[in-house]
């Protein structure tokens, strides 16, 4: 994936985060406290919650405006020439699409698909990726060689080609999309987890566990995994928007969710011929997409920053004392966020 | 190892890869019950007679091994078959539709690299300045948007209003460079920006991060202490070593690039290989699809070889091996 | 068993007397040095341990001393079964446990435990202390999870920790307390042997005393046997019944503690002892340091013959040709063995000889 290397650097800072505490506060409690004070992250969380809420409430909203998602209203929903009507006309809050369906309602139904796909593929990809990465990193040797090369091959493979091929063979559908996206998601996570595992493996407490007689799987899941959770969480949060974008792209190309089921991708695809006469048809779904992905990206970066407080403290100190610029600028989480881009955020 | 041996080894590996990809494609499509394949090819509404005809024409009744052999034989002779849909030779289709794709790729890659690396370098050298913060916001937005959204957005906000106000340089649709470089650029500029946008965002951040950490190294401080001009310090020393991980990432991204190309072609109606293959999906035109798959794989292989050469050039510790 | 070095019987017992818990026979551990690349050829070996034999009687402590690179930590890990031996044998309680499969080694893991040097690295920072100490119970299934807490808290109390801190993370404890956690973990299954790999090297001196006293108490209460590795001679003197001095993968000298410390026969031992700080200023003033030349050589390419000969103040031509056997020298007790062609004699002024050589 595009930024695996970069993320590797960035999550390394998370892995080494200090665990100081009083009264037995776990790493998670500390992270949460720091996150709470990060306004951007909180805003993003709120936005996500709202979006999820709207998605869940889509049928209710449809009932509210009396415009079911897949029902066309040629009379009120299209103008004289048969083109979509703009926002605010005839009770269509955001306007209509080319067959006179309520655009807003379709956008919220599309949110269901997008969020569902985003979360499910990320969950699958994370579980698979963590397992593969840990096994490859811990066992080493021939197992690692095979798994690592396979992971690299998947990462480098042009996703479009594979998506095309699979869409032809199996026909586009929700499960196919979930399969394709998960297939790429796990590779990026596996690569990073493998790297982390390789370095964790050398720690003395792992040797101690072996000397106690712990078996490899116990060591992996009880000793190594807790140390992986932090970077994996960051990764997963950043993968969700990439998956959403991936799905939108596939649907846009006609390889994904098929009409009449609404997906942001296929709405935008259908909006293409009308962009000169119905700007809302393109703008509103695109905005929904942008807001959602932006929120997840910002949240992911916020979580990452919350897990690595060292730089934050230094930054605050600098602001207070106005120190001259250091010759060794801080990298890693000092940077403002960017997303992990698994294969197809294009 | 010398350059020649390196090239030979990589080309051989590349051929193996292509063979694997072709085989994979073949088995994916053809290794299914004959009737299913035939029906797919003949179209959903074909009558049994037509299906039988298709089976006979394409030799689908033969054992899969024989079919595979014929397939490989054909491919080795660069014969990619004929489109089911238009009966044109796939080779012709590729030849015709390669120029738009190539135009997009070349321009897009150049733009992405220049903008991405350039802004990355500037951001790193002016860390935490207004420029840096603005570019960070831009990067974030770029990362959050799918390529096709950017494309549509550009169409809506740049192409349409400009044309409406009589400024016609920027157009959609494709024209070749033979029509004049300026014209060509005018048609291509929006696709280039679209293709480059997301990748540039990624590379800006990557470059910025790499350069920041490199500039913190002691040997940079030594160079400054020696009295070298800041520009030399940054470019000769800093950028050069910060560039190596970026270049190695480039190899991986070659595959991702193709996805963007397809999307850009569809959005701007450029009619290149990408768009054609998407249409081929919808019509289940297998030879065209297989042709595109092979071309894509070949592109990735070649691009990776180029990237590896560049990497060895940049990093004297890595001799071609 | 070929070129059998007589296995030293330690601590005042006649040969064949005391019950021997651990016996190491001619243990060899090489780490291969490979070329990089897809097919890797072995171009050399790091000879970390090159033919070491020793025996530890039940309930006693064997101190293992040596510089960095002497192979003592590697030896310990081979005995613990954490590293596979290249050749040689390890016997535990009469059973051959050399290079056993993980499954067959499992029951022995309850009897052989280890305490590590780094109090900060040897505990998983993301796990609570109670879970860490209770690990042995979980792994070997000896205590059902309901009762584990009680057992863990008993252990914590035994090592001097507050049992209320059961749910805390290692980061909330000091270095000395963390080592106690490590001790508690090692003690959980009432092992027979505890291998202590420099357990106090990373602690402040005052804390060292506490931990050492704890280890001594536990040995007395539970009849533990210790293999105690350290590079600090005073610590070793305090805890050991017998001492083995290692140099570059070989044993230089072995014997009951008092004999080795009071009458060292190997020049290396003598030099080490002369360099150890003495608490009494008068004794310190009158002591003469034996300064050795050179650095410890690389274990990949050890010197021929006696490995110490390039730095030895008494080295002669024989020393570079023949490897001295580990044997009892004239006038020594049967339990005191030295590997040297020209051992230090009583009244010999080694410091002067070393100065003259330089």
Residue A270: CATH number of its domain: 1.10.3720.10
Structure tokens, B218: 């002691």
What count of Cα atoms within 13 Å lies in the side-chain half-sphere of residue C281?
Answer: 0
pLDDT of residue B85: 66
Residue C90 β-bridge partners:
C24
pLDDT in tens, C274-305: 877 766 677 666 667 777 777 778 888 888 88
Residue A175 lies in a domain: yes
pLDDT of residue B109: 87
Q: Are C228 and C236 in contact (CB under 8 A)?
A: yes
Q: Determine the angle formed by the axes of helices A174-200 and A103-139, rounding to 10 degrees.
A: 40
Percent of chain B residues topping a pLDDT of 90: 0
pLDDT of residue A325: 41
Is the predicted pLDDT of residue B204 greater than 70, yes or no? Answer: yes
Is the predicted pLDDT of residue A11 greater than 70, yes or no? Answer: no
As a dihedral over the C-alpha atoms of residue A109, residue A110, residue A113, residue A119, rounded to 10 degrees, the angle is -110
pLDDT of residue C78: 93
Whole-number average pLDDT of chain B = 77
Distance from CA of B309 to the nearest CA of A (A): 18
Confidence class for position A124, pLDDT limits 50, 70, 90: very high
- DSSP letter assigned to residue B89: B
pLDDT in tens, B226-256: 887 777 777 777 777 778 777 777 777 777 7
Residues A215, A219, A224: CA angle, nearest 5 degrees: 165
Q: Are B205 and B139 in contact (CB under 8 A)?
A: yes
The rounded distance, in Å, linking the Cα atoms of A227 and C64 is 34
pLDDT of residue B59: 67
The rounded distance, in Å, linking the Cα atoms of B172 and B155 is 8
Strands of the C250-256 sheet, one edge to the other:
C112-115, C193-197, C225-230, C61-65, C242-247, C250-256, C337-338, C327-328
Q: Specify the DSSP element, H or E, that contains A288.
A: helix A279-307
Confidence class for position B184, pLDDT limits 50, 70, 90: confident
Residue C338 β-bridge partners:
C253, C327
- The whole-number average pLDDT for the span C257-261 is 89
Q: Do C82 and A209 touch (CB under 8 A)?
A: no
pLDDT in tens, C113-145: 999 999 888 999 889 999 999 999 999 988 888
Distance from CA of A262 to the nearest CA of B (A): 17
Within an 8 Å CB–CB cutoff, is residue C136 touching chain A? yes
Residue of higher predicted confidence among A267 and C12 = A267
Which range is least confidently modeled, A49-58, B47-56, C301-310?
A: B47-56
Q: Determine the angle formed by the axes of helices B90-125 and B240-268, rounding to 10 degrees.
A: 130
The rounded distance, in Å, linking the Cα atoms of C39 and C60 is 47
Q: Are B289 and A164 in contact (CB under 8 A)?
A: yes
Structure tokens, B271: 């009619």
Within an 8 Å CB–CB cutoff, is residue A153 touching chain B? no
Residue A4 lies in a domain: no
pLDDT of residue C188: 92
pLDDT of residue A324: 43
Confidence class for position C225, pLDDT limits 50, 70, 90: very high
Highest mean pLDDT pick, B101-115, B174-188, B229-243: B101-115
- DSSP letter assigned to residue C198: S
Whole-number average pLDDT of chain A = 77
pLDDT of residue C15: 41
Q: Are A1 and A186 in contact (CB under 8 A)?
A: no
Residue of higher predicted confidence among C248 and A2 = C248
Residue B229: CB atoms within 10 A of its CB come to: 11
pLDDT of residue A313: 39
Residues B87, B89, B90: CA angle, nearest 5 degrees: 110
pLDDT of residue A317: 38
pLDDT in tens, A125-173: 999 999 999 999 999 888 888 888 888 777 777 777 777 777 767 777 7
Residue of higher predicted confidence among C253 and B221 = C253
Q: Are B264 and B147 in contact (CB under 8 A)?
A: yes
Is the predicted pLDDT of residue C156 greater than 90, yes or no? Answer: yes
Q: What 3-state class would DSSP assign to C230?
A: strand
Residue A102 lies in a domain: yes
Q: Do C82 and A211 touch (CB under 8 A)?
A: yes
- The whole-number average pLDDT for the span C184-194 is 93
- The whole-number average pLDDT for the span A216-231 is 89
The rounded distance, in Å, linking the Cα atoms of C253 and C332 is 12
Residue A332 lies in a domain: no
The rounded distance, in Å, linking the Cα atoms of A203 and C134 is 20
Residue A204 lies in a domain: yes
Report the residue of chain A nearest C134, measured CA to CA. A212
Which range is least confidently modeled, A4-13, A94-103, A125-134, C309-318?
A: A4-13
The rounded distance, in Å, linking the Cα atoms of C299 and C31 is 10
As a dihedral over the C-alpha atoms of residue B194, residue B198, residue B200, residue B206, rounded to 10 degrees, the angle is 180
Confidence class for position A344, pLDDT limits 50, 70, 90: very low
Choose the closest CB to C126 out of A207, A210, A227.
Answer: A227
Q: How many structural domains compose chain A?
A: 1
- DSSP letter assigned to residue C88: E
Q: Specify the DSSP element, H or E, that contains A193.
A: helix A174-200
Residues of A in contact with C121 (CB under 8 A): 203-205
The rounded distance, in Å, linking the Cα atoms of C223 and C227 is 13
Q: Do A3 and B153 touch (CB under 8 A)?
A: no
Residue of higher predicted confidence among B259 and A12 = B259
Q: Residue A51 to residues A114, A292, B294, C5: CA-CA distances in angstroms? A: 11, 7, 41, 78
The rounded distance, in Å, linking the Cα atoms of C129 and C172 is 10
pLDDT in tens, A176-186: 888 888 888 88
Burial class (CB in 10 A: 0-12, 13-18, 19+), A308: buried
Q: Which residues of A256-293 are buried (b: 16+ CB within 10 A; e: fewer)?
A: bbeeebbbbbbbbbbbbebbeebbbbbbbbbebbbbbb
pLDDT of residue C243: 93
Report the residue of chain C nearest A218, measured CA to CA. C139
Cis upstream peptide for A240 (omega within 30°)? no
pLDDT of residue C196: 94
Report the residue of chain C nearest A210, measured CA to CA. C82
- The whole-number average pLDDT for the span B28-47 is 64
Residue of higher predicted confidence among B81 and A200 = A200
Whole-number average pLDDT of chain C = 85
Residues of C in contact with A210 (CB under 8 A): 82
Residue C69: CB atoms within 10 A of its CB come to: 19
State CA A240 to chain mean position distance. Answer: 2
Residue of higher predicted confidence among A243 and A94 = A243
Q: Do A211 and C140 touch (CB under 8 A)?
A: no
Report the residue of chain A nearest B123, measured CA to CA. A335
HEC-encoded secondary structure of B279-301: HHHHHCCHHHHHHHHHHHHHHHH
Tell me the DSSP string of A16-60: T-----STT--HHHHHHHHHHT-HHHHHHHHHHHHHHHHHHTHHH
Residue C354 CB contacts under 8 Å (≥ 6 apart), including other chains: C271, C290, C291, C292, C293, C313
pLDDT of residue C80: 92
- DSSP letter assigned to residue B234: I
Percent of chain A residues topping a pLDDT of 70: 81
Q: Do A164 and B277 touch (CB under 8 A)?
A: yes
Is the predicted pLDDT of residue B88 greater than 90, yes or no? Answer: no
pLDDT of residue B308: 77
The rounded distance, in Å, linking the Cα atoms of A305 and A335 is 9
Residue of higher predicted confidence among A337 and C188 = C188
Q: Do A160 and B198 touch (CB under 8 A)?
A: no
pLDDT of residue A25: 66
Confidence class for position C180, pLDDT limits 50, 70, 90: very high
Q: Specify the DSSP element, H or E, that contains B233.
A: none
Highest mean pLDDT pick, A204-218, A264-278, B136-150: A204-218
Within an 8 Å CB–CB cutoff, is residue A272 touching chain B? yes
Is the predicted pLDDT of residue C220 greater than 90, yes or no? Answer: yes
pLDDT of residue C183: 94
Percent of chain B residues topping a pLDDT of 70: 84
Backbone angles phi, psi at C20, to 5 degrees: -90, 125
- Which of A259, A322, A265 lies closest to A288, judged by CA? A265
- Which of A247, A155, A245, A161 lies closest to B278, judged by CA? A161
What predicted TM-score, i.e. pTM, was given to this entire model?
0.77
Residue A320 lies in a domain: no
Q: Do C116 and A208 touch (CB under 8 A)?
A: yes
Residue A176 lies in a domain: yes
Residue B269: CB atoms within 10 A of its CB come to: 15
Is the predicted pLDDT of residue B290 greater than 60, yes or no? Answer: yes
State CA B320 to chain mean position distance. Answer: 25
Q: Determine the angle formed by the axes of helices B147-154 and B181-215, rounding to 10 degrees.
A: 130
pLDDT of residue A125: 93
Residues of A in contact with B145 (CB under 8 A): 245, 289-290, 293
In which domain, by residue range, is A282 found?
A: 27-310
User: Contact partners of C by the rule of 3+ C-beta pairs under 8 A?
Assistant: A
Confidence class for position C358, pLDDT limits 50, 70, 90: low
Taking the alpha carbons at both ends of chain B, their separation in whole angstroms is 6
Choose the closest CB to C82 out of A19, A26, A207.
Answer: A207
Q: Residue A170 to residues A163, A248, A256, B21: CA-CA distances in angstroms? A: 10, 19, 11, 19
Distance from CA of B218 to the nearest CA of A (A): 9
The rounded distance, in Å, linking the Cα atoms of C46 and C74 is 11
Residue C24: CB atoms within 10 A of its CB come to: 23
HEC-encoded secondary structure of C44-62: EEEEEEEEEEEEEECCCEE
Residue A157 lies in a domain: yes
Is the predicted pLDDT of residue A320 greater than 60, yes or no? Answer: no
Q: Are A204 and C82 in contact (CB under 8 A)?
A: no
């Amino acid at each position: 994936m595009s930024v695996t290397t970069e993320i590797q650097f960035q999550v390394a800072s998370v892995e080494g985060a200090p665990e100081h505490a009083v009264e037995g506060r776990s790493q998670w409690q500390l992270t949460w406290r720091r996150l709470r004070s990060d306004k951007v992250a909180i805003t993003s969380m709120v936005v996500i919650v709202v979006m999820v809420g709207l998605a869940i409430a889509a049928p209710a909203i449809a009932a509210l405006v009396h415009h079911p998602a897949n029902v066309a209203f040629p009379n009120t929903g299209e103008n004289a020439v048969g083109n979509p009507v703009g926002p605010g006309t005839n009770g269509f809050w955001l306007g209509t699409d080319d067959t006179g369906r309520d655009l807003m309602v379709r956008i919220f139904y599309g949110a269901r698909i997008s969020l569902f796909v985003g979360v499910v593929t990320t969950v699958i990809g994370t579980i698979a990726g963590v397992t593969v990465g840990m096994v490859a990193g811990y066992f080493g040797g021939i197992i690692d060689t095979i798994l690592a090369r396979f992971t690299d091959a998947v990462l480098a493979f042009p996703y479009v080609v594979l998506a095309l091929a699979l869409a032809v063979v199996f026909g586009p559908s929700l499960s196919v999309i979930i399969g394709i996206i998960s297939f790429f998601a796990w590779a990026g996570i596996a690569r990073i987890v493998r790297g982390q595992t390789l370095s964790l493996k050398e720690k003395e407490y792992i040797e101690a566990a072996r000397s106690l007689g712990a078996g490899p799987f116990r060591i992996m899941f009880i000793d190594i995994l807790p140390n992986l959770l932090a970077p994996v969480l960051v990764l997963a949060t950043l993968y969700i928007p990439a998956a959403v974008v991936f799905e939108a792209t596939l649907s846009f190309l006609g390889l994904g969710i098929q009409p009449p089921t609404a997906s942001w991708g296929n709405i935008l695809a259908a909006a293409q011929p009308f962009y000169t006469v119905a700007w809302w048809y393109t703008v509103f779904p695109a905005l929904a997409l942008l807001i959602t992905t932006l929120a997840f990206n910002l949240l992911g970066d916020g979580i990452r920053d919350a897990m690595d407080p060292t730089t934050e403290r230094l930054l605050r100190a600098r602001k207070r004392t106005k120190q001259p610029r250091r010759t060794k600028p801080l990298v890693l989480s000092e940077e403002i966020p960017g997303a992990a881009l698994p294969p197809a955020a294009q | 190892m010398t350059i020649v041996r390196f090239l030979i080894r990589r080309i051989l590996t590349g051929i193996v890869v292509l063979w694997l990809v072709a085989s994979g494609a073949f088995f994916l499509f053809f290794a299914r019950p004959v009737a299913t394949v035939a029906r797919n090819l003949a179209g959903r509404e074909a009558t049994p007679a037509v299906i039988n005809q298709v089976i006979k024409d394409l030799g689908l009744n033969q054992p899969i091994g024989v079919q595979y052999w014929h397939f490989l034989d054909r491919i080795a002779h660069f014969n990619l078959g004929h489109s089911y849909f238009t009966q044109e030779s796939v080779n012709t289709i590729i030849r015709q539709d390669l120029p738009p794709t190539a135009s997009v790729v070349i321009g897009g890659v150049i733009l992405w690299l220049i903008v991405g690396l350039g802004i990355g370098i500037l951001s790193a050298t002016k860390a935490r300045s207004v420029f840096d913060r603005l570019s960070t916001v831009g990067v974030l937005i770029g990362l959050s948007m799918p390529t096709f959204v950017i494309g549509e957005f550009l169409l809506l906000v740049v192409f349409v209003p400009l044309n409406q106000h009589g400024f016609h340089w920027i157009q959609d649709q494709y024209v070749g460079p033979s029509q004049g470089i300026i014209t060509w650029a005018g048609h291509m500029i929006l696709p280039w920006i679209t293709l480059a946008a997301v990748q540039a965002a990624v590379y800006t951040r990557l470059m910025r991060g790499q350069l920041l950490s490199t500039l913190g190294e002691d040997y940079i401080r030594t160079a400054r202490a020696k009295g070298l001009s800041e520009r030399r310090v940054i470019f000769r020393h800093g950028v050069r070593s910060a560039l190596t991980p970026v270049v190695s990432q480039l190899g991986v991204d070659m595959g991702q690039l193709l996805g963007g190309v397809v999307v850009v072609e569809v959005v701007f109606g450029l009619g290149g290989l990408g768009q054609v293959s998407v249409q081929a999906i919808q019509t289940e035109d297998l030879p065209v699809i297989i042709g595109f798959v092979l071309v894509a794989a070949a592109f990735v292989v070649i691009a990776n070889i180029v990237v590896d050469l560049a990497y060895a050039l940049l990093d004297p510790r890595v001799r071609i091996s | 068993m070929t070129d059998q070095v007589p296995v030293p019987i330690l601590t005042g017992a006649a040969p064949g007397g005391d019950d021997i818990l651990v016996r190491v026979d001619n243990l060899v551990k090489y780490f291969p040095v490979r070329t990089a690349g897809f097919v890797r050829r072995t171009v050399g070996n790091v000879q970390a341990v090159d033919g070491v034999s020793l025996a530890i009687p039940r309930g006693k402590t064997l101190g293992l001393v040596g510089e960095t690179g002497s192979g003592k930590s590697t030896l310990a890990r081979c005995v613990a079964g954490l590293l596979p031996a290249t050749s040689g044998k390890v016997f535990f309680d009469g059973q051959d446990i050399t290079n056993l499969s993980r499954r067959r080694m499992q029951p022995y893991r309850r009897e052989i435990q280890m305490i590590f040097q780094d109090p900060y690295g040897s505990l998983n920072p993301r796990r609570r202390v109670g879970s860490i100490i209770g690990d042995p119970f979980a792994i070997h299934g000896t205590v059902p999870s309901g009762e584990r807490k009680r057992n863990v808290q008993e252990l914590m109390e035994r090592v001097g920790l507050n049992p209320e801190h059961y749910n805390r993370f290692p980061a909330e404890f000091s270095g000395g307390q963390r080592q106690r956690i490590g001790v508690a973990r090692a003690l959980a299954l009432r092992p027979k042997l505890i291998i202590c790999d420099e357990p106090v090297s990373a602690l402040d001196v005052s804390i060292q005393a506490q931990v050492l006293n704890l280890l001594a108490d536990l040995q007395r209460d539970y009849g533990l046997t210790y293999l105690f590795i350290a590079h600090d001679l005073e610590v070793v003197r305090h805890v050991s019944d017998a001492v083995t001095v290692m140099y570059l993968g070989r044993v230089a000298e072995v014997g009951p503690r008092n004999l080795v410390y009071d009458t060292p026969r190997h020049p290396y031992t003598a030099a080490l002892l002369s360099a150890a700080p003495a608490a009494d200023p008068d004794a310190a003033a009158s002591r003469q340091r034996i300064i050795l030349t050179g650095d410890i050589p690389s274990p990949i390419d050890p010197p021929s013959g006696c490995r110490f000969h390039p730095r030895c103040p008494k080295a002669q031509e024989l020393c570079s040709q023949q490897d001295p056997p580990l044997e009892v020298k004239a006038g020594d007790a049967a339990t005191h063995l030295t590997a040297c062609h020209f051992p230090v004699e009583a009244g010999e002024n080694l410091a002067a000889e070393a100065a003259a050589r330089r």
